[in-house]
């Protein structure tokens, strides 16, 4: 660059070099940029490096919803995308487990789809591809994925069976019906019951603020800060008192005392559920009764309900919304022996349940290790 003494000429050379540098950057960098742009526009998801296109998603929505496809909400689109992702994950997993399907078998299967009177109708085949906007290779890969998944499920099915004892147990489960009473003390109830007994001194606020100086918003005028710290101390004290309340309720349960005794400790109203089946949803009574997910999904309910006596108090269930205590009010295990047709249905039910369990047990570790990227965030 020292050869060019004229400053205008130097500037011209710099501009020319910058131009050529830009050409090089575009030449090498643009393909990756374009590929990313195409991926964002045309890719619905990438599953362990394998693509699911937006067109794949459109086809599934068309097939499933038909004339109502335009009513598909973003939530419905995400649901169908999840189905496609699961399908691809299952095919990948089945392949890793050694399930293989020859290309010849898939080609013969496709030919059979579009054959009439033993003759392959190429015009029907090409018409279908055109209608679905599918390339021959994409259609081939799609059918192969379906066959691999079917082979995997067939393998799982052959590995399961249903013993007479399992059928008898399933019959008992299907015939059983339960009901329970429960008491719920919401966080607002707890605040109201315990808050009036909580006091906070000025010294406690000073100490709290001293430990958390970085959280003071206005060092000159600290009235709002002091009130915020006072509420924090109250919340902490209530949480501690809540633990004491839970301990008292658990003590009632451990002594085998009645549900009424636990309710008297809580000081709230008693409610009754609808009749429910083992493993079924538990709802409040009435057509619009809410589902009690936090109660039914708790370890206390799952572990204790079956063995509890009617009228006895359960252990406390501490949830994000408040505290539950329950008692069985009905436990009906009366069963009648199933006839031959009912036994067949029960056997299929047992086998289907076992298949889902085995499939999930085998499949879940693979899902947890998989890399899945979704690209529908803009919808």
- Sequence spans of domains, the chain: 7-159+368-374, 177-332
Pairing relationship of beta strands 372-374 and 43-47 according to DSSP bridges:
antiparallel
Closest CA to 333 of 273, 282, 277, 272: 277
pLDDT tens track for 192-231: 776 666 678 888 888 888 888 888 887 777 778 888 888 8
Question: What's the angle, vertex CA 193, arms to CA 265 and CA 326, rounded to 5?
Answer: 40
Using a CB cutoff of 8 Å and minimum separation of 24, what contacts does 99-106 make?
99/148, 99/151, 99/152, 99/155, 100/148, 101/144, 101/147, 101/148, 101/151, 103/140, 103/144, 105/147, 106/140, 106/143, 106/144, 106/147
Q: Contact, 314 vs 253, CB < 8 A? A: yes
**pLDDT tens across 114-168, in order?**
998 888 999 999 999 998 888 999 999 999 999 988 888 777 766 666 677 777 7
Query: Residue 198 in 3-state DSSP?
Result: coil
The backbone torsions φ and ψ at residue 311, rounded to the nearest 5 degrees and listed phi first, read 95, -10
Residues 325/313, Cβ–Cβ less than 8 Å? yes
CB-neighbour burial class of residue 316 (10 A; exposed 0-12, middle 13-18, buried 19+): buried
Q: pLDDT tens, 252-286? A: 999 999 999 999 999 999 999 999 988 788 999 98
Whole-prediction pTM value?
0.46
Residue 317 pLDDT > 70 = yes
Q: Which residues of 282-314 are buried (b: 16+ CB within 10 A; e: fewer)?
A: bbeeeeeeeebebbbebebbeebbeebeeebbb
Tens digits of per-residue pLDDT, 228-255? 888 888 778 777 778 888 999 999 999 9
Q: Strand order in 177-186's β-sheet?
A: 270-272, 177-186, 322-332, 317-318
119-120 and 177-186 strand pairing: unpaired
* CATH architecture for segment(s) 7-159+368-374: Orthogonal Bundle (1.10)
């Amino acid at each position: 660059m020292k050869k060019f003494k004229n400053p205008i000429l130097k500037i011209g050379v710099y501009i020319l070099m910058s131009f050529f540098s830009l050409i090089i950057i575009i030449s090498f960098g643009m393909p990756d940029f374009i590929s990313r742009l195409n991926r964002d526009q045309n890719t619905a998801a990438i599953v362990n490096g394998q693509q699911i296109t937006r067109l794949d998603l459109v086809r599934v929505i068309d097939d499933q919803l038909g004339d109502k496809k335009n009513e598909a909400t973003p939530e419905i689109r995400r649901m169908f995308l999840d189905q496609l992702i699961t399908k691809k994950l299952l095919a990948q997993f089945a392949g890793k487990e050694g399930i293989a399907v020859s290309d010849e078998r898939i080609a013969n299967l496709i030919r059979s789809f579009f054959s009439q009177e033993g003759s392959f109708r190429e015009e029907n085949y090409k018409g279908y591809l055109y209608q679905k906007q599918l390339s021959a290779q994409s259609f081939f890969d799609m059918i192969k994925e379906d066959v691999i998944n079917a082979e995997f499920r067939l393998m799982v099915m052959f590995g399961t069976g249903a013993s007479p004892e399992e059928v008898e147990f399933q019959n008992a489960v299907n015939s059983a019906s339960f009901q329970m009473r429960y008491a719920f003390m919401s966080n607002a109830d707890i605040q109201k019951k315990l808050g009036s007994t909580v006091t906070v001194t000025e010294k406690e606020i000073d100490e709290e603020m001293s430990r958390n100086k970085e959280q003071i918003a206005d060092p000159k005028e600290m009235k709002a800060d002091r009130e915020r710290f006072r509420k924090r101390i109250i919340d902490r004290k209530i949480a501690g008192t809540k633990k004491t309340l839970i301990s008292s309720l658990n003590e009632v349960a451990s002594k085998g005392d009645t549900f009424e005794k636990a309710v008297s400790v809580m000081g709230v109203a008693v409610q009754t559920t609808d009749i429910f089946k083992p493993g079924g949803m538990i709802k409040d009574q009435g057509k619009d009764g809410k589902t009690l997910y936090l109660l039914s999904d708790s370890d206390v309910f799952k572990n204790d309900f079956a063995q509890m006596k009617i009228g006895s108090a359960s252990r406390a269930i501490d949830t994000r919304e408040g505290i539950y205590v329950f008692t069985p009010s009905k436990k009906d295990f009366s069963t009648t022996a199933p006839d031959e047709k009912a036994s067949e249905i029960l056997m299929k039910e047992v086998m289907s349940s076992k298949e889902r369990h085995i499939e999930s047990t085998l499949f879940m570790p693979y899902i947890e290790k998989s890399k899945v990227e979704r690209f529908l965030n803009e919808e």
